[in-house]
């Protein structure tokens, strides 16, 4: 069974990737003692740049292992694509490189969209995945999911902006989906599906 280590301390992301890997003969796990590793500053201008930077850096700490890192975020059309790569720290104080809480980020988003009707609250989740081994990025993958931002949260299963993001395709917010449903409809699940295709088609031994 192939194994992929996920470079994150975010329990929600680990659940998402475990759900996406279920039934595909791939073991997904976090990196042991991840919190003790030197933090990688996500200062890239794109999701791909941040994902590649993290995968490259963290894979050096676990020799010979496949390490996956992602950078994901929300792009709201009415906000010119914001919060974008700043999604996790959208409500953080200026100059602060740390993340804000989900509640703070969601509250800011609702404030900024408070005067807009539903038809102007279109948005999409974007995910870039990078897979690396021994400090070398092997490949990158991408996924997107379209939706609208509600005026109040719904659901308790998700994290981040999931309770506000309604997917017409799924008929629910991302926070109302179970792990298997989210793997089907979410940006992260779709990016991971591209990774699975690559692993199946690649001649490399994993």
* Residues β-bridged to residue 34: none
What is the number of alpha carbons within 13 Å of residue 97 lying toward its C-beta? Answer: 6
Q: How far apart are CA 150 and CA 157, in angstroms?
A: 16
- Exactly one of 16, 33, 70, 71 is catalytic; name it: 71
Strands across the sheet with 136-149, in order? 26-30, 2-6, 66-76, 122-133, 136-149, 165-167, 172-173
Phi then psi dihedrals of residue 111, to 5 deg: -60, -45
43 labelled catalytic: no
Alpha-carbon Rg for the chain, nearest whole angstrom, is 17
Q: Which two tokens stand for residue 103?
A: 């509640």
Q: Active-site positions?
A: 71
């Amino acid at each position: 069974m192939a194994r992929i280590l996920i470079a994150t301390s975010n329990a929600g992301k680990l659940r998402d990737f475990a759900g996406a890997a279920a039934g595909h003969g791939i073991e997904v796990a976090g990196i042991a003692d991840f919190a003790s590793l030197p933090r990688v500053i996500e200062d890239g201008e794109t999701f791909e740049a941040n994902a590649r930077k993290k995968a490259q850096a963290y894979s050096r700490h676990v020799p010979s292992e496949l390490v996956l890192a992602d950078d994901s975020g929300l792009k709201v059309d009415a906000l010119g694509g914001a919060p974008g790569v700043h999604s996790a720290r959208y409500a953080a104080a200026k100059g602060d490189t740390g993340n804000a809480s989900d509640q703070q980020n969601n509250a800011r988003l609702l404030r900024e969209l408070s005067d807009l009707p539903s038809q102007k609250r279109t948005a999409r989740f974007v995910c870039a995945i990078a897979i690396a081994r021994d400090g070398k990025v092997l490949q990158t993958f991408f996924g997107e999911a379209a939706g609208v931002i509600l005026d109040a949260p719904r659901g308790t299963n998700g994290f981040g902006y999931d309770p506000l993001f309604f997917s017409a395709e799924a008929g629910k917010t991302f926070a109302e989906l179970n792990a298997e449903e989210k793997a089907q409809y979410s940006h992260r699940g779709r990016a991971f599906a591209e990774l699975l295709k690559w692993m199946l088609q690649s001649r490399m031994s994993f």
